Amino acid sequence: MSAQELREKFIDFFKSRGHAVVPSSSLISDDPTVLLTTAGMQQFKKYYLGERSALDDFGSRNAVSIQKCFRTTDIEEVGDERHLTFFEMLGNFSFGGYFKREAIYYAYDFLTKELGLKIDYVTIFDPEKVPGGDWRKEVPFDYESFSIWQELGLPEEKIRREGIDNFWGPPGTEGPCGPTTEIFVKGIEVWNLVFNEYYATSEKKLKKLGEPGVDTGSGLERLLAVKNGFGDVFEIDTLAPLLAEVEKIKPGLDLRIKKILADHLRGSAFLIAEGLRPSNKEAGYILRRLLRRIVAYQIRFDIHADIFSIATARLQAIFQAAYPDLLASEIFPVMEMERDKFESALSKGFKELGRYEEMTAADAFYLYETYGLPFEVMKEMSPAAKDIRKEDFEAEFEKHREISRVGAEEKFGGHGLTDENQNGAEREKIMRLHTATHLLQAGLRKILGPEVEQGGSDITPERLRFDFSFNRKLTDEELKEVEIWVNGVINEDWPVSFIVLPIEEAKKTGALFFFKEKYPEMVKVYFIGPSFEEAISKEFCGGPHVARTGEIGRFRIIKEESAGAGLRRIRGVIE
């Protein structure tokens, strides 16, 4: 059976049983509690909550959809037989229409009669299996589902009782939730039926919903693989041809790596088709990580073929009927741009990685920060990195954030201000202005040229003041351009990081320093951008700075004037 046949079969089955056909919502969720759409029910939250009426909007209390979904929680599992980041979810829903009996009968009929499959066993919710103290322990045993399955002829041992795995919690912090019954065929979970009876608040308090609802989800890829008797989702027709392309590009490449490439190529294509662009924040950052991992593998496994253009052409052929948007969008140029941005830094990072015989989580974080090397790739590639635990790596992340935020202990190096008489809000403001000063210097050099050199700088909680060498007054256009450039970098939300180097080595990196200042043997070089190699700004500096440029806010130049012969002075504010 092809994916298209299964999609049609599913839709027709529920349509002929009074369900309105609702198109997939965007992968980029408009629900503020999640970044990406992870389940079919998300677009229907308002109907479960009674905020809107399905009857008014769809002409029915029941709906059916095929939802584009993306789950980062499964990213580490990708490469096995059944996990994917992007997948299609078949689902039927009811908002105060039918409940457990109909939902279970529909699923049973669809699987056994339409697809001719045999149910191995099912699971149902039992609070006895929930650990003490857990908020879900107060939910009663799902006796109703139990007896419906018995009615359908399942013997008691095939109706397994489970705990929290059979309670669907809301994606994000709060939302509709309730007990579930999961259906297993050939040992694989193919369908999850959720009975939304409650609303979980962000403090995990349960309230009864006015009208109970049904939310079911069946991963198309898994169900189709099971239907076709495949042991691996990558054998179905929406994945196999893509995997075959990867194989052609690099015969003999490890199967797990091939699957990761196919999965990430497919996932990023769908995200880009939805209008998402790689960036350093939120959903854009998820996309960036996928693309970076692909590029890292290209370098690591010496893949010279243009994997992005080959894959996008193949993906468009696979999905043109079901998702015509994939044809119209600019998938390939976006991927290519991202590759150009990270390729050289990643290559250098790999060389650097090869030098380590032993490695700590802090080293791994340094390589990640400096060259953008993905953590998983380092682990796979370097015996020295193999045993570094993800938690330790993440702890380094946190530490770094703290370092960037200190503020309290450190002097505002070079700016003549100490923190003693400042409150937290002022310190915060000064840090933002401080990072803005670095960007201002970089922007001036960008627009006016390298003759711009720092002459002095002073920051108060109200404004920054920056003196620099330049032999004439700046035009309004030049000032505007600098301002636009600085705000552009702010919007890109780049990380702000530093490395510590011996002074002579630091000077060789091309980082800017202040000639008048005397520096110690070891200096901190603050850099802003995707990596040290590709930094937008590099300066000797004691810090502290904000963690990301996005924290600065909008930058505005308020004044430009002379500060002596060949010296100009700019005052700027953030708002």
Stretch that binds ligand SER, among 34-42, 101-109, 421-429, 476-484 (CB under 6 A): 34-42
Q: What whole-number distance in Å separates Cα of residue 573 and Cα of residue 140?
A: 58
Stretch that binds ligand SER, among 38-46, 239-247, 249-257, 417-425 (CB under 6 A): 38-46
Exposure string for 310-344, b = 16+ CB within 10 A, e = fewer: bbbebbbebbeebbeebeebebbebbbebbebbee
Peptide bond into 530 cis (omega under 30): no
Stretch that binds ligand SER, among 39-47, 313-321, 336-344, 511-519 (CB under 6 A): 39-47
530 is a contact residue toward ligand SER (CB under 6 A): no
Q: The dihedral of CA 390, 395, 398, 403: what is its sign?
A: negative
Nearer to ligand SER, 47 or 466 (CB): 47
DSSP three-state, residue 136: helix
For the segment 213-232, give every residue that binds ligand SER (CB under 6 A): 215-217
Stretch that binds ligand SER, among 210-218, 227-235, 278-286, 383-391 (CB under 6 A): 210-218
Least CB distance to ligand SER at residue 193 (A): 7
Least CB distance to ligand SER at residue 201 (A): 19
Type of residue numbered 531: S
Stretch that binds ligand SER, among 10-18, 211-219, 277-285, 403-411 (CB under 6 A): 211-219
Q: What whole-number distance in Å separates Cα of residue 76 and Cα of residue 374?
A: 12
Number of amino acids touching ligand SER (CB under 6 A): 10
For the segment 232-291, give every residue that binds ligand SER (CB under 6 A): none
Least CB distance to ligand SER at residue 88 (A): 12
200 is a contact residue toward ligand SER (CB under 6 A): no
Nearer to ligand SER, 39 or 104 (CB): 39
Q: What whole-number distance in Å separates Cα of residue 495 and Cα of residue 512?
A: 18
168 is a contact residue toward ligand SER (CB under 6 A): yes
In this structure, what are the phi and psi dihedrals at residue 89, rounded to the nearest 5 degrees? -115, 120
Q: Measuring CA to CA, which residue among 237, 253, 250, 248 is closest to residue 315? A: 237
- Tell me the two tokens of residue 242: 């893509």
Q: Which of 3, 14, 40, 88 binds ligand SER (CB under 6 A)?
A: 40
Nearer to ligand SER, 170 or 455 (CB): 170
Q: What whole-number distance in Å separates Cα of residue 361 and Cα of residue 355?
A: 15
Nearest residue to the partner ligand SER, using Cβ: 217
Q: What whole-number distance in Å separates Cα of residue 109 and Cα of residue 102?
A: 10
Q: Which of 20, 36, 39, 243 binds ligand SER (CB under 6 A)?
A: 39
CA angle 481, 485, 490 (to 5 degrees): 145
Nearer to ligand SER, 91 or 572 (CB): 91
- Tell me the two tokens of residue 151: 């009615």
Rounded to whole angstroms, what are the CA distances from 170 to 95, 103, 174, 198, 333? 16, 20, 6, 10, 36
41 is a contact residue toward ligand SER (CB under 6 A): yes
3-state SS string for 376-390: HHHHHHCCCCCCCCH
181 is a contact residue toward ligand SER (CB under 6 A): no
Nearer to ligand SER, 191 or 368 (CB): 191
**Count of Cβ atoms closer than 10 Å to residue 205 Cβ:** 11
Order of strands across the sheet with 567-574? 454-459, 464-469, 567-574, 555-562
Least CB distance to ligand SER at residue 115 (A): 18
Q: Which of 64, 83, 84, 91 binds ligand SER (CB under 6 A)?
A: 91
Site residues, ligand SER (CB under 6 A) = 39-41, 91, 168, 192, 194, 215-217
